[in-house]
Amino acid sequence: MHFKKVHHAQTAARSHPSCTRGLHAKTMGKDNHAPGQHSTRRMSSAPPGVPTADNSRYEYLLVTLHEGVRTITFNRPDKKNSLNEKMFDEIVVALQEAADDVSTIITTITGSGNVFTAGNDMSNFRTLTMAQTRDVLIRFMGAFVDFPKPLVAVVNGAAVGAGATLLPLFDAVYATDKAVFFTPFSALGITAEGCSTYTFPKVMGPGQTTEMLLFNKKMSAAEACKVGLVTEVFPEATFQQEVHQRLQAMAKLPPKPLVYSKALIRDIHKEDLHKVNVAECQRVTERFAAVYLPGKEEYQEFVMSDCDGKA
């Protein structure tokens, strides 16, 4: 998703005429590709593909590769795919693996079950020091900033916290019409992350940014598409099939021009993104330490309850 300044939702809607095109697409035939094999953890659905050679290194991810499309799936459905410390590290490794693999043309990230991700698992901070927490977050967010190949978010359900704030760092965001986007930082006594204090104003303008990052506005998929956070919305019934078809078409494009063009679009922002990332992670870590105490479960319960809510 490229950065551009918009000043209100109507301007954004005019800039994104494809927002609802998927909603009116004809139902496609059954997908004949073999489903990905399951990891050792239970997963309710899997994208087409086969596990990569190094898939065994991941406990909370499922990584598949099919005809140039590498899919990284958050695979912690019992916790609504919330991100724990090990997942942060695994995602960094998985992105590096995708960057290094010449057979990977397009990389996608999605969630198992009916949730994209509930964001940060607050139990991370029971054992980590503030400095360790900050460094884990900086490294995790920075991996998205530096990823050199086309990166596509396949948002299959609720995207909360980092699940929403990271989206402008993707090159395309495809969402089911059942998805919701929620960044309840202020309500939880913490601050924004994912470079969103830099990317959100550029993508959706200052007004919508304030609504989301300060005042906890929850957006539907259609609303998120209108303001530019989502590239295109698809009906739930055909979401996986239509997105799979789109990704396979992308993967047939020559890889080098994709990488070179992404660099030309994005590299001008990298230095600023890394600076913002450090500042955001420092501040949010301070807030975590101030508001989250061991044994205090209100934060996670609040986030989990909103993963099934409506915008």
Which DSSP helix (H) or strand (E) runs through 33?
none
151-155 and 172-176 strand pairing? parallel
| pLDDT at residue 8, rounded to an integer | 38
DSSP codes, 176-198: ETT-EEE--TGGGT----TTHHH
Where is pLDDT greater, at 301 or 117?
A: 117
- How much of the chain is in helix, strand and coil states, percent to nearest 5? 50, 15, 35
9-242+252-306, CATH topology level: 2-enoyl-CoA Hydratase; Chain A, domain 1 (3.90.226)
96-110, 133-147, 191-205, 281-295, range with the lowest pLDDT: 281-295
Beta bridge partners of 109: 72, 153
At 60-80, the pLDDT tens digits run 999 999 999 999 999 999 999
- Flag whether pLDDT at 257 surpasses 60: yes
At 208-246, the pLDDT tens digits run 999 999 999 999 999 999 999 999 999 999 999 999 999
Query: What is the distance in angstroms between the CA of the first residue and the CA of the last residue of the chain?
Result: 23
Exposed/middle/buried for residue 111 (C-beta within 10 Å: 0-12, 13-18, 19+): buried
In this prediction the pTM is: 0.83
Where is pLDDT greater, at 18 or 283?
A: 283
The b-or-e profile of 205-229 (16+ CB within 10 A means b, else e) is: beebbebbbeeebbbbbbbbbbbbb
Where is pLDDT greater, at 130 or 37?
A: 130
